[in-house]
Structure 1
Amino acid sequence: MLGALGLTPDEETVYRALLSRPGTAAAELAQALAQSGSEVSAALSRLVAHGLVVRAGNGFTAAPPAVALGAMISERRDALRTAELGLAAFAEEHRAAMVGRSISELIEVITGIDAIRHRFLQLQHAARTQLRNFVTAPFIAVPPGENTGEDAAIDRGVEVRVVIERSALAEPRTFHETVASLHNGVKVRVVKELPMKLVLADADIGLVPLAAEPYGEPGAVLLHRSGLLAALDALFESTWQHAHPLDLSIAGTDPAAADDLTERQPDGITPLDRKILALLVAGLTDQAVATQLNLSLRTLQRHLRRLMDLAVVDNRMQLGWYAAHQGWA
């Protein structure tokens, strides 16, 4: 709770214990907290230095929280104000420096699969708050299942958003990776087509693969903060707004692995029905949906027929609309 003020968990524990035990000696406090005497003594020394604890004879007493902690909070608040002023000054210095930079400093051309893969992972590690991707096939530098940078970014608390092209989602390896990403907290949306592959780390840097000649070496462009990068930022956000969201209703690719997938729920549909509808609404073909869920095409079509009868509609488009509005998918 007091970590934001620079206190360690041990220091906070000792301080809170002293609030109800004024005048307690270090040895008694260590016994009460079931900690070693050296740990408690070290914490007390630091608390005295912070002004949160004062010596009282042979013991120690906690300073009143409203006074001691209030002073620390005020100091932190003043420090943050100073940092904000510094941020504004640094931002202006950066803006002025960028105005004078040449095109070659703002755009870096990368050639070769290994170099692109290296830059792709570097860019993900550089993200501090958000990471945004356009995913399309074919996968040349980083095949599905080999993107270790995404998990590392999520572990750091980075928000990851992905827009995936419908044809890419229909591929089994991409589908399985997408399900794993959903489980990890990645936000995923689907569109019919994307204009390019794209990776954006915050609003500071982006990576755009270049179209390669049939027998040529693949390349990519690394973009630093510039008008072009701002345009790509806007392109991602616009595409994201119009893309169809995917959620964990598509998770699980083996219907036989769970006994409750065919159990009817109060609204008349099953968990397997929800998986089918989620992929249907995302725009996948019947064959692609059947492949992802390990169903025969005939079995899938039988499920769709039953769902259309349940929704009282005549075709897949009407079923998708009905499912979306009823919360089935």
Structure 2
Amino acid sequence: PPGVALGALLTRQRHELEKAELAAALLAEEYRAAAAEPAVHDLVEVVTGGAAVAQRFLQLRLGAHDEVCALVTGDPVVVTGVGNGAEEQAADRSVRYRVVVERSVLDQPSGITELTAALGRDEQVRVVDRVPAKLVVADRSLALVPLASHSSEPAALVVHAGGLLELLSGLFESVWRDALPLRLGASGVTEQGPREPDGTDLEILSLLLAGLTDASVAKQLDLGLRTVQRRVKHLMELAGVTTRLQLGWHAYERDWVARKP
């Protein structure tokens, strides 16, 4: 009978059609997902003109929610590390500022005044002899890089999330680790010299490298547990590391625990 002869064939073809429809739906979903991702040319914007660059820079700082990081040169032209009220508004929103300035900024007529104001807002400011490039990074999601231009018209790149942005963030962190902190004292803005661990820090390091726990170290040195943990965190900041394993290596490399004769 036709129902018997063709039934199995029709069922198989119906199953193949359902599989094809499912495959088409999956391909359509992949296509929509790919179309929603930004194209490569959308990851970097080119902004030209002094007013446009200044406006984009202001938007970047005002749009930050957590942190703004900046490298500031002695000739900022349009992009500066301070001024125009954006930092005050950011401070009201608890946005943290970390800024590295070239030493030549300290020699400018308004340099000390602006840095004093920045330190007064509890911004973290450090100084180096020379920064590799002008740079501003907001929330590790957006960066602005002013471009050196031979023409009279300033220009800048606005970099969105991606590998290039991660590279720029890493550049800032590298410069930040090697820079010297600035502090605001009675005599004005001064540099803090390279910090070194004190005797108690070295004792804590030695006991930790010997295998003792934080609690055991605190008991041996008659210190509070929180004091030991705070000092270890301070040592990690000095070494510019994020893990205790790295701290042990840097302690050895810097002769903190094995002083050479």
Question: What is the TM-score normalised by the length of structure 1?
Answer: 0.46
Where in structure 2 are there 5+ consecutive unaligned residues?
1-32, 195-261
Structure 2 residue 168 is the aligned partner of structure 1 residue 242: no
Could you tell me how far 1:157 is from its partner in structure 2? 0.2
> Within 5 A, what are the aligned runs for 1:40-55?
none
Partner of 1:308: none
AA of the residue aligned to 1:124? R
Letter of the aligned partner of 1:192 in structure 2? D
**Deviation digits for residues 59-113 of structure 1 (CA, Å, limit 9, x no counterpart):** xxxxxxxxxxxxxxxxxxxxxxxxxxxxxxxxxxxxx769943222100000010
Q: Within 5 Å, give how 1:144-155 maps onto structure 2.
A: 146-155=83-92
Deviation at 1:178, TM superposition (A): 0.3
The answer to which of 222-231 and 241-250 deviates more is 241-250
C-alpha distance in 1, partners of 2:192/2:177? 19
1:211 is matched with which residue? 148
Cα 1:132–1:248 shift into 2, 3 Å: same
Q: Number of aligned pairs?
A: 163
Asked if 1:183 is matched to 2:120, the reply is yes
Instruction: Indicate conservation of the 8 Å contact 2:127/2:181, yes or no.
Output: yes
The runs of 4+ residues in structure 1 deviating greater than 3 Å are: 96-100, 142-147, 279-282
Change (3 A) 1:226 1:144: closer
What does the per-residue CA deviation read over 1:172-201, in whole Å, with 9 as the maximum and x for residues that have no partner? 211210011101110000011111111110
Equivalent position of 1:294 in the other structure: none
CA RMSD in angstroms comes to: 2.5
Taking the TM superposition and a 5 Å limit, the aligned residue runs for 1:273-312 are: 278-279=190-191
Task: Judge conservation of contact 2:128–2:180 (CA < 8 Å) in 1.
Answer: yes
2:179 and 2:36 map into 1 onto residues whose CA distance is 35
| 1:200 is aligned to 2:137 | yes
Question: 1:171: how far off?
Answer: 1.1
Instruction: State whether residues 144 and 173 of structure 1, in contact with CA within 8 Å, keep that contact through their aligned partners in structure 2.
Output: no
CA change 1:251–1:198 in 2 (3 A) is farther
Deviation for aligned residue 1:217: 0.9
What is the TM-score normalised by the length of structure 2? 0.57
Aligned-residue sequence identity (percent) comes to: 41
Determine which structure has greater relative contact order: mean sequence separation of CA pairs < 8 Å that are 6+ residues apart, divided by chain length.
2
Query: Contact 2:100–2:125 (CA<8 Å) still a contact in 1?
Result: yes
Whichever residue aligns with residue 199 of structure 1, its letter is V
Is residue 162 of structure 1 aligned with residue 99 of structure 2? yes
